Structures are given as structure tokens and as C-alpha cells.
Homo-oligomer: A and B are copies of this chain.
Amino acid sequence: MNPNLTTLTHVRDGKPTMVDVADKPETRRSAIAEAVVELGAEVMARFSNNEIQGPKGPVLQTAIIAATMAVKQTSTLIPFCHPLLLENCEVRIEATATGVRIHCEVCCTGKTGVEMEAMTGASAAALTIYDMTKAINKGVVIQSVRLLSKTGGKSGDYQCSP
């Protein structure tokens, strides 16, 4: 077998598999993921002012709740993710010039990291915003779902390149 492949952790003997974390220590973990949603001019016009009190309020609050609930479902959505006991999830959504930027931060104490939880939460918030604005603009695009940073675990801390 090509030794380069040994780091593809979820493949063993040509078959997909879970990664065994039984012997890893429990440590504090955190991860922050980002999703950027390009809303287009027509949606942005409606979102221009009152972030919480105006129409943006319900949309963004629904997205925050959808993200938090999706974070808790990560191990049922991603086939080889381990279940874990989420200790915190904080979702922040801020306006950009052309849309919104979602930050989803997840923390737990466990044997494996929470990168997938943060990525799943950011994606769910973005999908919810798409759902609630698609009657105005079906061309809304979710861009750049990515990991911004993580802490904890054997692989150490990570910070995305700027």
C-alpha cells in the first residue's frame, strides 16, 4: 500500500471506517467555523437597518437556533463522527457589505475534536438563511464554509491562513 495513504484516517483496507479514539485522553476542545452567505442586493435592501428588531431579527435568530440544534446532530449527520457532550455553542452573525458572515464556536471536553460540529453548525445557519430568503432571491450563495481555528487535542492548535 502506498504509505502516503496512512494519514487518510477514515479508510482502512479500502473501506470507510470510524477512527478509534478509545485511547485518547479527554481534553478541552474548541473550534470556530465560518460561513459566508452572499445575499444579493434585493435581500440586502430588506436587511439594511434593524438587525434585531427588524425583519432581520427573526431570520438571524432562526439561523442561530438551527445552528445550535444542528451542532447537536452532527454525529447523526456525518457518518463517522463520534458523539460528544457539547458544553457550549455560540453562534454570531454579522452583516457584511453583501451578505452575512456566520461564526459558530463549539466547546466540549472529550476524546475527539469539535471541528465537524462547528462546520455543521455554520452550514446549518447558512442553509436556514437561504431557506428564509429564497423567495426573494434563489441565487443566494453559501460561500467559504471553513474552519477558522481549533484548540486542544493531539494535533494541537490550528489557525486558518489569512
Contacts and interface: CB of A to CB of B under 8 A. Distances in A.
A11 B90 CA distance: 11
A58 B10 contact: yes
Interface string A43-81: 001100000110101111110111011101101111111
A118 to B, nearest CB: 11
A149 to B, nearest CB: 9
A144 B138 CA distance: 14
Interface in A105-141: 107-111, 115-116, 119-120, 123-124, 126-128, 130-136, 138-141
A86 interface: yes
Which 10 pairs from chain A and chain B are nearest by CB? A16-B58, A142-B145, A20-B88, A22-B87, A141-B146, A9-B135, A10-B132, A53-B53, A16-B62, A123-B123
